[in-house]
Structure 1
Amino acid sequence: MNTHEIILLVGHGSRHAPGNEEILRFAGLWRQRHPQQDIEVCFIELAEPLLDAGLDSAAAKAERVIVVPLILNAAAHVKMEIPEYLEQARTRHPKTEFIYARHLGANEQVLRILKRNLRKTLLEMDEPDPRNTGVIILGRGSSDRIANGEVAKMARWLYEESGHDLVDIAFTGITHPRLETVVKRQMLQGMAQISILPYYLFTGTLMERIKRQIMHLRTQYPQLRFGCAGYAGFEDEIFELLDQRVAEARGDGYETRMMECDGCQYRSGAEAHGHGRGHHH
């Protein structure tokens, strides 16, 4: 007999097997937090089971499937590919309800991770002066300007809440600027050390490339010190965001869309004083 609901966690998939293994381990940890939930895993590409097989498997066992993308930014996979597979699955399984949850996004939880990772890199460099310590948030890169803009948004939020004169963005591929270019700019602007914050969830071929790039940069710029944070996938905030996305998909009292003023200090202050309406900034 079918269960009522399965949560289908959708990872990107990687040619680097340890990255796929980390997603499976992440799913196991999420199950431990919610032993009453049926959580399955599939991948968009490069790893098994692929998305269509994952949808079929979940539909064969459940009346409702909540599809949750384990992805930070909404680019083509989130906006086009997963919805396309979902429509095909609805045709194949007309008796199963498929609900598409939101991606993780750029928000306060992700900002907390970035701030914590920045603090770790500064401690590793013996807490240098933030005014001459550059920060680079290093994203994957996309042809989707909104996805790239989410990285830029996080950089601005981090700048607002840190004492660093320079908080820039760079990308590992597809778009620009690239890491080497931003490092050169920050050096010319007087930075003595640079903290690099990868905007990634798990290891993979690109995380391995970042490690090699930083080795080359240390050789190229021996006068600079470099700190590099880890990726974010196993942080508590990622689990919290997924819980929130599932609750939104079920309609359990969450707004279904992130408000444009998410993270606004004026909104937070107004709510603290009992004022729920109006922006005057």
Structure 2
Amino acid sequence: MQLQSAYLLVSHGSRDPRPQVEVERLAESISDKLGCLQSNSKTSLAQTGFDQMPDCNGLQPLVGTACLELAHLPLHKQIEQFGEYAIAAGFKHLQVIPLFLLPGVHVMVDIPAEVATAQQALGSDLAVEIRPHLGSHPCMARLLANQMIYFDADIWILLSHGSRRQGANQPVEALATQLGAIPAYWSVSPKLEFQVKALAMAGHQQIGILPYFLFAGGITDALAQSVEQIKQEFPTVRFHLADAIGSSAELVDLILDLTKE
């Protein structure tokens, strides 16, 4: 495998340090996987080191991270800086991968605008391309289903952040249908409490809650607190709260599948 592109993972950004730690871990895992594919070997980069990788076409994996919000620089400046580094490393192409689950305003408007500004600054030395956002991958349902097998729930609620952009929540509804779950949202209706009440009144005694969030952070903490309050309101119902998706080998494969060479 000859590397043609550098990669930049774009996340939302958070005041909580945990999501960024996970994004950095994800970037490292993607770099490792690209290195293994490039060398056509199962040898881990952690064992060999970059200086021992075969030269192939002279380009080593280059995977960076950037944040849309709450960063020291606006996103277009982060892309410019990484782009200049990619050019110096010999790359002609940069793939920007939005680590977003919904096609909301950030994915459809904000990131394209920032990329366009960066591309203008970088000129013809580097072609910057936005890849499909993570939540668009058709195997997201399979990734989520893997988390459901550890709990003995008779009904599941798929909880997403939600978007006010028209049509942006449709993928959540489609995912919920695939998983045999019902959708709920953190920021828009129907909220978690509403769906829990409906299920409890329908007689469900084992309710699973599947967070459709990439990484643990402030919202997942607040979700855990909310579930504790719900337990007090419905003491006869047993609730099962799954973890956020988290960085994993499966997630790495999904992200790489969204790229092209």
TM over 0.5: yes
Gaps of 5+ in 1: 123-127, 160-166, 251-281
Distance 1:11 1:176 in 2: 24
Per-residue deviation, 1:49: 5.6
What residue identity is the alignment partner of 2:31? R
* 1:197 alignment partner, SS class: strand
Q: Cα deviations across residues 115-136 of structure 1 (Å, max 9, x unaligned)?
A: 22111122xxxxx6xxxx2210
The corresponding residue for 1:135 is 156
What residue identity is the alignment partner of 1:208? D
Greater relative contact order, per chain length (Cα 8 Å cut-off, separation 6+): 2
Matched, 1:37 2:61: yes
Per-residue deviation, 1:108: 4.2
* 1:168 alignment partner, SS class: strand
What residue identity is the alignment partner of 2:252? F
Matched, 1:100 2:130: yes
Per-residue deviation, 1:105: 2.5
Gaps of 5+ in 2: 36-59
The corresponding residue for 1:9 is 9
Greater shift after overlay, 101-110 or 5-14?
101-110
The corresponding residue for 2:233 is 220
Per-residue deviation, 1:23: 1.1
Distance 2:168 2:220 in 1: 19
The corresponding residue for 1:78 is 107
Normalized against structure 2, the TM-score is what? 0.82
* 1:105 alignment partner, SS class: helix
What residue identity is the alignment partner of 1:112? R
Normalized against structure 1, the TM-score is what? 0.77
Q: Cα deviations across residues 64-114 of structure 1 (Å, max 9, x unaligned)?
A: 211111112211111000100111112111122111111123454211122
After TM superposition, which residue ranges in structure 1, 4 or more long, deviate above 4 angstroms? none
Distance 1:89 1:118 in 2: 41
What residue identity is the alignment partner of 1:116? N
Distance 1:48 1:239 in 2: 27
Q: 1:5 to 1:158 in 2, by over 3 A?
A: closer
Q: How does 1:225-244 map to 2 (within 5 A)?
A: 225-244=238-257
Equivalent residues, number: 229
Distance 1:110 1:4 in 2: 26
RMSD of aligned alpha carbons: 1.8
Greater shift after overlay, 184-193 or 89-98?
89-98
The corresponding residue for 1:125 is none
Distance 1:56 1:107 in 2: 27
Q: Percent identity?
A: 27
What residue identity is the alignment partner of 1:114? L
Q: How does 1:1-281 map to 2 (within 5 A)?
A: 5-35=5-35, 36-48=60-72, 50-61=74-85, 62=87, 63-95=92-124, 96-122=126-152, 133-159=154-180, 167-173=181-187, 175-247=188-260, 250=261
Asked if structure 1 preserves the Cα contact closer than 8 Å seen for 2:137 and 2:258, the reply is no
Asked if structure 1 preserves the Cα contact closer than 8 Å seen for 2:147 and 2:242, the reply is yes
Per-residue deviation, 1:235: 3.3
Q: 1:67 to 1:141 in 2, by over 3 A?
A: same
* 2:22 alignment partner, SS class: helix
Asked if structure 1 preserves the Cα contact closer than 8 Å seen for 2:14 and 2:69, the reply is yes
Q: Cα deviations across residues 193-212 of structure 1 (Å, max 9, x unaligned)?
A: 10000001111211111111
Q: 1:151 to 1:197 in 2, by over 3 A?
A: same
Distance 2:228 2:137 in 1: 31
Distance 1:73 1:241 in 2: 16
Distance 1:176 1:228 in 2: 20
Distance 1:171 1:64 in 2: 37
* 1:191 alignment partner, SS class: coil
